[in-house]
Structure 1
Amino acid sequence: MYAEPGIIRKIIEGTGDTWAVVGLSSNRQRAAHGVAEFLQRHGKRVVPVHPKAETVLGERGYASLAEIPFPVDVVDVFVRSELAGPVADEAVRIGAKAVWFQLGVIDEDAYDRTRAAGALMVMDRCPAIEIPRLARRV
């Protein structure tokens, strides 16, 4: 399991509401788009991060995390596992409180580095699945 007990709840409820979604583009067929819509419906500000830097779901996009000119609370990662480690490292550099690797995104070294840097980390999970689970446990 790639989330310590209580970490998912802490990220969703206690880190803040600004989520940078790495890999989010205007392509509505991609999983990142559906999850970003879900996050918005649950009160999160979604910031698209994609090489095209497109405006998505009414939010201006950025080509990288480093270009975002305001604090980011959580970095939600929708890239292949072999590309995810550098994204986690950049998330730590910008001061994100948490990094969330989506379903199928696994990099144990990045997980260890992120946790060692003091950020919260979840791997191989989806907030669109976890948020409803948390609501059922209340």
Structure 2
Amino acid sequence: MNHDDYSNDYIREILAGVQTIAVVGASDKDDRPSNYVTRFLDAQGYRMFAVNPAAKPGGTIAGVPAYASLADIPEPIDMVDVFRNSEAAAGVVAEALELGTLPKVIWLQLGVRNDEAAEVAEAAGVKVVMDRCPKIEHQRLYPDAG
């Protein structure tokens, strides 16, 4: 996979093919990108989960259920959206690949790229997007969606 250039069809297929999204590195601060991306995707009808090690049982971040780890989420996740730095992405990919049901997609946010982690995920059959934002891509590909 060429991670320097994604076709619109590839991104559109991902956005249309996922229903549940876990945002790893979600922040409870309203002015943080992870917070408003989570809120935006939730408003688009995706079932969202926030992942933050400081999450309290039964708590929420950005208005969605929050969990301390991916493994704590009580249902399969279609996409893992990573708001961590490039070095941390490998650990998130490893955690995602240990889940009982593998995600369909691992999406690394703007400025986040880890080619080795992408190779590991793709070898396991998981699609990867790097250095892109699903909110921006959604707005670009579906401008009338909101």
TM-score over 0.5 for the pair: yes
Alignment correspondent of 1:11? 14
| Equivalent in 24, 44, 49 of residue 26 of structure 2 | 24
Please list the CA deviations of residues 53-109 of structure 1 after superposition, one character each: whole Å capped at 9, or x if unmatched.
141133221111111111111000000111111101222222111100000011000
- The more displaced of 57-66 and 23-32 is 57-66
Tell me the matched-pair count.
135
| Equivalent in 39, 59, 62 of residue 64 of structure 2 | 59
| Equivalent in 110, 129, 133 of residue 126 of structure 1 | 133
- Is residue 142 of structure 2 the alignment partner of residue 135 of structure 1? yes
RMSD: 1.5
SS of alignment partner, residue 99 of structure 1: strand
| Equivalent in 45, 48, 73 of residue 46 of structure 1 | 48
Alignment correspondent of 1:77? 82
Structure 2: segments with no counterpart, 5+ residues: none
- Which amino acid counterpart does residue 51 of structure 1 have in structure 2? P
SS of alignment partner, residue 142 of structure 2: helix
SS of alignment partner, residue 112 of structure 2: coil
Give the distance between the partners of 2:64 and 2:135, measured in 1 at CA.
19
Structure 1 residue 125: deviation in Å?
Answer: 0.2
Question: What TM-score results when the alignment is normalised by the length of structure 2?
Answer: 0.86
SS of alignment partner, residue 36 of structure 1: helix
- Which amino acid counterpart does residue 97 of structure 2 have in structure 1? V
- Contact conserved, 1:18 with 1:72, CA < 8 A, in 2? yes
Q: Percent identity?
A: 44
Alignment correspondent of 2:93? 88
- Contact conserved, 2:104 with 2:126, CA < 8 A, in 1? yes
Structure with bigger RCO (C-alpha 8 Å, 6+ apart): 1
Question: What TM-score results when the alignment is normalised by the length of structure 1?
Answer: 0.90
Give the distance between the partners of 1:7 and 1:111, measured in 2 at CA.
16
